[in-house]
Amino acid sequence: MEIVLAIAIGVLTACGVWLLLRPRTYQVIMGLCLLSYGVNLFIFSTGRLALDSEPVLIPGVPETLQNYTDPMPQALVLTAIVIGFAMTALFLVVLLAQRGFWGNDHVDGQGDAE
């Protein structure tokens, strides 16, 4: 299970970085999304992959992380998802404004060499 999660984090991060280096704005936005998904998975995995761990305190069970799931990474990932959604919406508005002003969607503002 851990190797699958590590491969998924690596693939998402690599694809995100590759798309960030592309010349078009839409590809940069998609790269930021993929990179944020990879980071979210990484933060989520720091909470320890555990099966059959209780998320809520139960009477009679010792209050240690050996018996429960750590809620902090889950809260951080949930917050990051909300912030990432707002960031993506803002970047899409900027993309549409840039396309309207300059007529292209290149990061540097210059069109294709003809």
Domains and CATH numbers, the chain: 2-48+69-102 (1.10.287)
Looking at residue 51, what is its pLDDT? 67
pTM listed for this prediction: 0.77
Looking at residue 10, what is its pLDDT? 96
CA distances 69 to 1, 4, 47, 78, 112, Å, are 17, 20, 7, 15, 52
Q: What is the pLDDT along the chain (114 residues), one digit of tens a residue?
A: 789 999 999 999 999 999 999 988 889 999 999 999 999 999 988 877 666 666 677 788 777 767 777 778 888 999 999 999 999 999 999 888 888 888 888 877 676 665
